[in-house]
Amino acid sequence: AYKRFSELLPKEERENACSARVPKSQILTLPELRANPFQHRICHVFSTSETRDDSMSFEDFLDMLSVFSDSATSDVKSHYAFRIFDFDDDGTLDRKDLEQLVNCLTGQGEESRLSSAEMEQLIQNILEESDIDKDGTINLSEFQHVVSRSPDFARCAGLQR
């Protein structure tokens, strides 16, 4: 992991990789993220950058790799997936988050974008299936409950290599 992290840095900074931060643009070149529709959110969630530039320290990088590893528990994977899908970082998945989630998965192109009616129906179905307390949002425990019933979650969510 240290070797992979240091290789993302310019040659002159590699000696001090432990104290360096890799820019988001370099993190996005990783094969695990290159084609992931949530790549920007992943960088945002794992970055501890005080400047909010989504750069990563070696520790941030290790945290990210550990969640992507096969040995991470489904609880850990679902916790981070929830944070990645919570686009406005408010601790719940509301209609806006769900719409952004669907758009990331289907793509933004004209041919793949859902109509307003299709989007509304899909979000309604998701909420009916997941919103146990019927408050119009999905909280972490509701999300983890749904995930626990889906054995393919980690693979489908892109949280496995």
Band of pLDDT at residue 161, cut at 50, 70 and 90: very low
Residue spans of the domains in the chain: they are: 1-68, 74-157
Q: What is the pLDDT of residue 110?
A: 75
Q: What is the pLDDT of residue 59?
A: 97
Tokens describing residue 127: 């909420």
Burial of 11 (0-12, 13-18, 19+ CB in 10 A): exposed
Q: What is the pLDDT of residue 156?
A: 58
Task: Report phi then psi at 47, rounded to 5.
Answer: -75, 135
What DSSP line would sit under 73-121, residue for residue? -HHHHHHHHHHHH-TT-SSSB-HHHHHHHHHHHH-SSTTTPPPHHHHHH
Quick: pLDDT tens for 7-64. Answer: 999 999 999 999 999 999 999 999 989 999 999 999 999 999 999 999 999 999 999 9
Tokens describing residue 10: 């310019």
The domains spanning 1-68 and 74-157 adopt the same CATH topology: yes
Token pair 């609880």 is at which residue? 75
Quick: pLDDT tens for 73-129. Answer: 989 999 999 999 999 999 999 999 999 999 999 886 777 789 999 999 999 999 999
CATH class assigned to 74-157: mainly alpha
Q: What is the pLDDT of the chain when averaged over all its residues?
A: 92
What pairs with residue 93 in β-bridges? Answer: 138
First to last CA, the chain: 15
Q: What is the pLDDT of residue 112?
A: 79
Q: What is the pLDDT of residue 107?
A: 80
Q: What is the pLDDT of residue 159?
A: 52
Look at residues 151, 156, 158, 161 and name the one whose alpha carbon lies nearest to residue 74. Answer: 151
Q: What is the pTM of this model?
A: 0.88
Quick: pLDDT tens for 138-147. Answer: 999 999 999 8
Which residues 6+ apart lie within 8 Å of 33 measured at CB?
27, 39, 42, 43
**Which superfamily does CATH assign the domain made up of 1-68 to?**
EF-hand (1.10.238.10)
